[in-house]
Structure 1
């Protein structure tokens, strides 16, 4: 699909992208708000440079990026003449579940257990109590996703023939800029390079293992089909985002607003999620920490994804992604 207009793409003086010219190789680029792209391979003097290389040396590269953003010398190319890919292919993807209060309450009501005939008001009250308890216990829920599920911000998304209930979940995604292990919450922001947009698609029909309910959720099958995580278009440096815990997340389906919520509704804020994931795993530069999705998914509306649907996702200051759904032909 065609990218968003080149004006007012993101907050701040520059962002990062991974681009290519028609059939050429992908390359990391610095993009300015007027829609011009600078090839960082040339600007930084490394023909084999990737976005992971940039993020691996984030602290030393960032000052050079600030200078390049205002330097009129290096030749630039309009983004509109290039293909926009996912801004980074991470080594690891950490995904936060059940992190928006209203979203979890809606899901709790939608996923009614067989035989649960209680009125909706009672089940909503139960879910609200669970959320309050989770917040008091200060225990986020984080699981691991696959980098192979990532696709570009304007690429078509193939809905697998086996996916009976494909759903959208627009999210703020954190991009790690320094190795992080056992990081305290108070220091977590120092390990964040920037932010981008992720749409964490989920097949609701395969979330729970009904053949083995004691096992619980099956995130491999429900979330990790190829292309199930449209990412980008940009990585906006953290210094350009005043407060990641106060951004607006909006998803439109065929022009109709479905998700429209602030990250203020997150139970666990960005710093807590980064800190929590780092207590177990060693976070690496370029890794993603997805922060969860707000209320307004397809299960809430009773309207799931189907062939031809177009999703447009926005997060304040991070640009716009636009993806079209294509149904896979049944085998």
Structure 2
């Protein structure tokens, strides 16, 4: 009886996947995981601060800062993958159930797809602000912004639901060790024992479309912006236009560069270790950099933060005097 129960338990445990972690059994794993935890806290603090500022400060209630949804996505993005990895490192349990793996993959793919389309919507916002300033209040009113953001989330959810349901339906009869620190689609597909060549082609085409459409929108927007700035006679106007666009361009290059490397380059061009490092870059590093690059260096945001801090200090002084 005991033998039967043990066999049944082993079969249940064998259905779980094993995540190898980001640093594996390297000599300085503890130090590297500590640094990762610090990055995680920085990403949470930076993105949460930006979201709170945009909600509380009336001067930031504009279409440009309505797209602080990017911070919400980054906040969720890093929360979906990193905590599981860090907890596994502390407890020594690196397993993840098939349902947990599917849920993690769904949210990850949803957020990736939604962020891809959101970056293209932000590029259109820059185009409208610089090339059509008189029509900007009409082109980017509250209703248009809400529709754009809702569309980004909807398309991301469709992408996540479609790809996750297909991947998790494959039989996994090879080693269940995932060569990544989270349930990433390319790493999980390598464990399937069925012929997935057709699905690989479908996924490749899907990723091309998911990246191609936003790339066309972003490229067209910035081509029109460059054409207009080239015709500007004032150097100050050119400087303002480039300052408005520079942060967004940097974020786009970071995100799209990593996504193209992971999902569009043939697997023969990169190893599993390289894939993991690139995944770590746009899963852990990018959410830390985005608030710094895109918003916290902006004068409106820093001004709003300064005024909130001063108000807090003033309120504290008043409370102390009354006490």
The answer to whether the superposition gives a TM-score over 0.5 is: no
Shorter-chain TM band: under 0.3
Q: State the TM-score, normalizing by the size of structure 2.
A: 0.23
Greater helix content: 2
Structure of higher CA gyration radius:
2
Q: State the TM-score, normalizing by the size of structure 1.
A: 0.23
